[in-house]
Amino acid sequence: MAFHRPHSLLFLQLLLVLLIYKSEASECHPPPGEHLIREICDDSQHVDLCVSSLKADPRASQVCINKMGPAVVSIVRNNATDTRSYVYLLLNQATNPAAKACLAACYKNYKFAVRDLRAAVKESKDYDRFGSVLSRLTLVRSNVTECEAGFRKGNAASPLTRRNRNVVQLAEVADVIISDLMV
């Protein structure tokens, strides 16, 4: 998911910063200004979520691959880990068999998702492993999507719709940022 829009001045600026940075992989450059964060986030379908996530995490707003990559993937991991705990809680409280079956399936999905995200955080420190990070982010999204779909199939109300959407959107944001860092 590289930039598909016509090259703007801001895009070139971003590219320059990323290129400079890539040539000195261990060095970090000052946090990008608001406009640069917007530019980074512009490819995302969830611009506001992307901007607020990047601004909230000081590491994520540093333009350097070995900090920004892990930071954006950690945001997804933390969110998914929190939801996995919530699913576990609901699973233990559920009495309705249909709901319980869906929650059990979701718990599996979230176990996979968290495992992939943990590995992805490590891999995202290494530019050469960004391809694997993207594959894992895809698996995370399909696992969480499968969890949500399970409730529809099982004719049970999903107590996870909002949380599932959060994780999927954050994973999409991470995907866009990692893809842009790969440019």
Min dist CB 103 to ligand NAG, Å, is: 16
SS3 for the chain is CCCCCCCCHHHHHHHHHHHHHHHCCCCCECCCCHHHHHHHHCCCCCHHHHHHHHHHCCCCCCECHHHHHHHHHHHHHHHHHHHHHHHHHHHHHCCCHHHHHHHHHHHHHHHHHHHHHHHHHHHCCCHHHHHHHHHHHHHHHHHHHHHHHHHHHCCCCCCCHHHHHHHHHHHHHHHHHHHHHCC
CB of 2 to ligand NAG, least distance (A): 24
Owner of token pair 């995302």: 44
Considering the complex, state which of residue 147 and residue 181 has its C-beta at the smaller distance from ligand NAG: 147
Which stretches of the chain bind ligand NAG, using CB under 6 A? Answer: 49, 78-79, 82, 112, 116, 139, 142-143, 146, 166, 170
- Minimum CB–partner distance for residue 6 and ligand NAG (Å): 30
**Considering beta carbons, is residue 64 or 80 the nearer one to ligand NAG?**
80
Q: What amino acid occupies position 38? A: R
Which CB sits closer to ligand NAG, 156 or 170?
170
Which lies closer to ligand NAG via its Cβ, residue 62 or residue 143? 143
Rounded to whole angstroms, the Cα distance separating 64 from 70 reads 10
Tell me whether residue 132 or residue 142 sits nearer to ligand NAG (CB atom). Answer: 142
Least distance between ligand NAG and beta carbon 4 (Å)? 25
Find the shortest distance in angstroms from Cβ 151 to ligand NAG: 15
